[in-house]
Structure 1
Amino acid sequence: MKRCFDIVASCFGLLVLLPVLLALVVAVVVDSGFPVFFAQKRVGKGGRLFRIYKFRSMSVSKAAAEGSFDAGNTRRVTRIGRMLRKTKLDELPQLWNVLIGDMSLVGPRPEVQKWVEAYPERWRFVHSIRPGITDNASLEFRNEEEILAASTDPEETYRDMVLPRKLDLYEDYVRNHSLLGDIRIIFRTIF
């Protein structure tokens, strides 16, 4: 039932949001050129690697596409990227990831390999389901970039404070998720 909901909702979202998606494509190109999309390797269900898609909000970095993660580093963020990140519109291309089955609308956010390796046992449990575009951790850490940018050691803050709390929320979701709960999270995300 969850997969059927994901397919219908992602198709509907892509169709309804097509004018917004096209406007964002133009905005990214005008602001910082090509490529429009950022694709990065993330770990999904069963530990399988896949490419997550976002509107590009930073200057191009080959290392980032392969999974490097510069916690709290906002120096490469473009002008349009600031707006995309603040509004979370950079995440809209992940509707495609949902449609093709790499992701779900709601579920634990997929992480890069480096941070999966920091807590492998906990991630093994989390990876029993598809990752999602949004979840309770996404809502709680909506201002994660600001938290990390304010830290004297962003990597340590992410590894030792942010990620363990996210994993608590991810594990709770895996144990207790339901379609009604997913719908509630979607509405909380929109609002």
Structure 2
Amino acid sequence: MLYSKYFKRLLDFIFALLFFILFWWILLLISGAILIFDGFPILFIQSRVGQYGRPFKIYKFRTMVKDAERIGPKSTSAGDARITPIGKFLRKTSLDELMQIFNILKGDMSFVGFRPGVFENYKESDYKSGIFNVKPGISGYAQVYGRSGLTLAQKREWEKQYVQDISFMTDMKILARTISIALIGRGAY
């Protein structure tokens, strides 16, 4: 309880700042690649469900064609034709998520938590389940135990479990597993 209430945010901020200081050049390279191969906009910004069910704007590198949400559904599936060639690589390696470092610095997100979805993907019971008592995360149980292969119901079960298990050691295990999964690109589309 002490960790989740006080130390988690402090650690998130310190590590997000360190990450930015060390790897700002990667963000710049990805931005340049998107600009050269697909033009503006470089970022995809969308309203997502945050802590306590409040909306916030999530930042991601754009991996789909311009105006993709007008062309098709809000969520993607395997083989989605709207995903650009560079977008396929960014998604497979999870590099499209790196801009969320700014969401962490702002305090909207954490490194570990529930994966924030669009409002349409949540039911009334989800708001009562306790998953929104924590900040959304770049990663979480659902991302390391199934990722895109899970149904929404399975994701919700993992998110509820995380609220029960939240601790420094749990977060470290999830982050270590996230890095290994991102390196092999498993379960992404």
Superposition TM-score, scaled by structure 2 size: 0.85
Q: SS state of the match for residue 17, structure 1? A: helix
Which residue of 1 is the match for residue 60 of structure 2?
54
Instruction: Give structure 1 stretches of 5+ with no counterpart.
Output: 148-160
Please state whether the residue corresponding to 1:93 is helix, strand or coil: helix
Cα deviations across residues 5-64 of structure 1 (Å, max 9, x unaligned)? 000011011111111111101111111001111001101011110110000000122746
Question: What secondary structure does 1:39 align onto?
Answer: strand
Q: CA RMSD for the aligned pairs?
A: 1.6
Indicate the percent of aligned positions where both proteins have the same amino acid: 36
Aligned length in residues: 170
Structure 2 distance, partners of 1:186, 1:179, is 11
* Matched AA of 1:20: I
1:131 maps to 136
Q: What amino acid does structure 2 have at the position aligned with 1:176?
A: D
Question: Quick one: distance in 2 between partners of 1:75 and 1:49?
Answer: 28
Q: Quote the Cα distance in structure 2 between the aligned partners of 1:45 and 1:62.
A: 27
Q: Distance in 2 between matches of 1:51 and 1:109?
A: 13
What are the within-5 Å matches in structure 2 for residues 101-180 of structure 1?
A: 101-116=107-122, 119-124=123-128, 125-142=130-147, 144=148, 147=149, 162-180=151-169
1:80-110 CA distances to partner (integer Å, 9 max, x unpaired)? 1010000000000001001101000000100
Q: How far off is 1:120 after superposition?
A: 2.0
Residue 81 of structure 2 corresponds to 75
Q: What is the alpha-carbon distance in structure 1 between the residues aligned to residue 74 and residue 146 of structure 2?
A: 17
Structure 2 residue runs without a partner (length 5+): 1-6, 181-189
CA separation of 1:7 and 1:42: change in aligned 2, threshold 3 A: same
Q: Is the 8 A contact 2:68 2:82 kept in 1?
A: no
Question: What is the CA–CA distance in structure 1 between the aligned matches of 2:99 and 2:124, rounded to whole Å?
Answer: 28
Query: Partners of 1:2 and 1:70 in 2: how far apart?
Result: 30
Moved over 2 A (4+): none
**Aligned-pair distance for 1:70?**
3.5
- 1:153 counterpart residue number: none
Distance in 1 of aligned mates of 2:106 and 2:41: 21
The alignment partner of 1:53 has SS state of strand
TM-score when scaled to structure 1? 0.84
**SS across alignment from 1:109:** coil
1:140 deviation in Å?
2.3
2:27 to 10, 21, 25: 21
